[in-house]
Amino acid sequence: MMPYHTPVLLAESVAGLAIRPDGVYVDVTFGSGQSSRAILSQLGPEGRLYAFDQDEDAQANRIEDGRFTLISANFSHIRNFLQFYGVEQVNGILADLGVSSHQFDVPERGFSTRFDGPLDMRMDRRKSLTAADVLATYGEEELARLFSRYGEVFNAKRLAAQVVKARAQRPLTQTSQLKELLSGFVPKSKENRYFAQVYQALRMEVNAEWEALEALLTQSVDLLLPGGRLVVISYHSIEDRLVKQFLRSGNVEGKEEKDFYGNPLSPFRVITRKAIVPPAAELQVNNRSRSARLRIGEKKQQDYGQSV
């Protein structure tokens, strides 16, 4: 049986939280539970860990520990759910973005280019919108927008036009149909990268991943206690860029503001001037880690806008 998921940069991300034994932490991407177990191993009796995962399959990895609570929801609603449990602020938030190995390895989920399966791509299967729905109902301009924005597809407009033309002949419902259509748009030597970019764009649209990340980052400013850490692992440039700009500016627009003395007004102190990447040894064991980028920010004291 394949392991559910092998976390990337596990030691580095948990170390980035600078865990206090009596602290309160949130793992917003529970998955296999390995990151949560690593956090719990450093917590004392008074420590608490809350985890989020919208995929019902992750429930099978639930941890039986009185200090642990698993919340079956999208992390975009982090503040509301934590308030439900009486938590106003926390000492650290860990987000390992993207798709788990389990989701990639189950053909019927439709996340992988390696298998034929339904064009689903829903992380939360309680939701209705699938990748097939996107391809069937979005207009040509909408399709071009998402292929370009979320997949950085170089010929997004031409691809969108071809999708509209192809779906008039037959519905695009299987991954094999999509791969067949895509094969005519890219040189043979670059097929895998092109397929991955298109799949990524569809997956991000289906799961509103960009909006969820923006919501998480925005809420983290008030959720984190002074000295609290925000640790984010991303797997493609557009998300990494958003995280980098947010930690630098304190807002998702990336607008850097300064006080009268020229001091940055961001509520975060950037711990990682350069993103942390997986070491060679990890790349050999888990080639899916090759695109991972880890960034860490620390919440400044409440007078972060003042000169010191």
Domain shared by 141 and 91, yes or no: no
* Average pLDDT score over residue span 158-164: 97
- List residues bridging with 152 in a β-sheet: none
Residue 14: predicted pLDDT: 98
Sign (positive or negative) of CA dihedral 190, 198, 295, 102:
negative
Q: What is the mean pLDDT of residues 107-128?
A: 89
Same domain, 194 and 245: no
Q: How confident is the model at residue 307 (pLDDT cuts 50, 70, 90)?
A: very low
Task: Check if the beta carbon of residue 294 is closer than 8 Å to that of residue 13.
Answer: yes
Q: What's the mean pLDDT in 37-46?
A: 98
DSSP symbols for 155-224? THHHHHHHHHHHHHHS---BHHHHHHHHGGGS-GGGHHHHHHHHHHHHHHHHTTHHHHHHHHHHHHHHHE
What is the model's pLDDT at position 102? Answer: 67
- The band of 48, judged by pLDDT with boundaries at 50, 70 and 90, is very high
Is 160 among the domain residues? yes
Q: How confident is the model at residue 245 (pLDDT cuts 50, 70, 90)?
A: very high
Q: What band does 134 get if pLDDT is binned at 50, 70 and 90? A: very high
- Residue 180, pLDDT score: 94
For the record, the structure tokens of 163 come out as: 């999708």
Residues 201 and 227 in one domain: no
Helix, strand, coil tally for the chain in percent (to 5): 45, 15, 40
Residues 29-56 have a mean pLDDT of 96
Instruction: Indicate if the pLDDT at residue 304 is higher than 70.
Output: no
Question: From CA 153, how far away is CA 261, in angstroms rounded?
Answer: 43
Could you tell me the two tokens for 201? Answer: 């764009």
Query: How is residue 200 written in tokens?
Result: 């990524």
CATH number of the domain that residue 291 is part of:
3.40.50.150
pLDDT at position 4 is 57
Q: Which CA distances in Å does 246 have to 78, 116, 200, 251? A: 18, 38, 22, 5
Residues 152 and 23 in one domain: no
For residues 186 and 53, membership in a common domain is answered with no
Give the span between the Cα atoms of 79 and 180, in whole angstroms: 43
pTM of the model: 0.92
Q: Could you tell me the pLDDT band of residue 306, with boundaries at 50, 70 and 90?
A: very low
pLDDT at 5: 62
